Chain A
Amino acid sequence: MATPRIRLPRSASEGEEIEVRTLIDHPMITAVSTSDPRDMLATFAVTMNGETVFTYDFGNGSAANPTFTFYVRAAAPGDFSFVWTHEDGTEYLADESVAIS
């Protein structure tokens, strides 16, 4: 559960557009129509070289196993960090690097 998967190019030129795809296994239980306890991610944040590039706030209408695709301008050194934060404060982390030429 809550295993992050990231798809990024291995290398890119400085300033080049890169596609970022993310997926995390998570049931996203809203507890609206079941008696299961609520189990929801609250936010997803992506940084590149320590600077925020993309975030998402999850509402009840966000699907289970949340996935995102978006496009970023590659900048050296190309260090990406992905953080999913649960409503209970637990963080799920993934770090990836793109070699910038």
Chain B
Amino acid sequence: MTVERRTLIKGAAASAALVLVGGAPLRADNHNGWQGWRDQLLAGRELSEGTITLDLPAVAENGAQVPLTVQIDSPMTADDHVSAIHIIATRNPAPQIGTFRLTPQMTRAEVMTRIRVAEEQEILVLAELSDGRVFQQTASIIVSVGGCAT
């Protein structure tokens, strides 16, 4: 009984670690080849622990115009800044939503745009830092009307 409980605790700790490095574990299959794009961006690097705040509606009425805000705590100095933020769709026809490239002339690592979401899916965000670290975050979204009519 004690052993079982210990196993349970170990399991819980492992899940917590997963959440810290990169948000909820991804359920999405490689439907549109998004894993290839993520691997290309990672270029062999492991994910680091870090927090990306992803502001995306849980349910979008219109998938053609979905507001997205990404924010990372960063001093944005020459030596320590977020250099790129990549937005990846796991179930759009194409995985590339877009890439923001940031500089130390920016006061914060916070950017807003509007994206297309074709159907219910997980949106994946990778943030590259000037020291080479990469953070990951995910968010699930449901859409009433898909956004890939054009």
- Name A's B-contacting residues (CB within 8 A): 17, 27-34, 36, 48, 51-73, 75
Contact = CB atoms under 8 A, between A and B. Distances in A.
Nearest to A75: B105
Given A52-B103, A56-B99, A56-B101, A63 B150 contact: no
A57 to B, nearest CB: 4
A17 B112 CA distance: 16
B97 to A, nearest CB: 3
B112 A57 contact: no
16 contacts: A17-B107, A17-B108, A48-B105, A56-B101, A57-B99, A60-B92, A61-B92, A61-B94, A62-B98, A63-B113, A66-B114, A67-B113, A68-B112, A70-B112, A71-B108, A73-B107
The winner among B94, B113, B147 for most chain A CB atoms within 10 A is: B113
B102 A62 contact: no
Give the interface SS of chain A, mostly helix, strand, loop or mixed.
strand
Given A27-B150, A57-B101, A63 B66 contact: yes
A60 B94 contact: yes
A54 B103 contact: yes
Contacts of A67: 112-114
A90 to B, nearest CB: 19
Contacts of A32: 93-94, 148
A22 to B, nearest CB: 10
A62 B103 CA distance: 21
Contact of B150 (A54, A64, A66, A70): A64
B105 A63 contact: no
Contact of B103 (A53, A58, A69): A53
A28 B150 contact: yes
Contacts of B108: 17, 71
Contacts of A68: 111-113
Contacts of B147: 63
A34 B66 CA distance: 21
B96 A59 contact: yes
A58 B94 CA distance: 12
Nearest to B62: A63
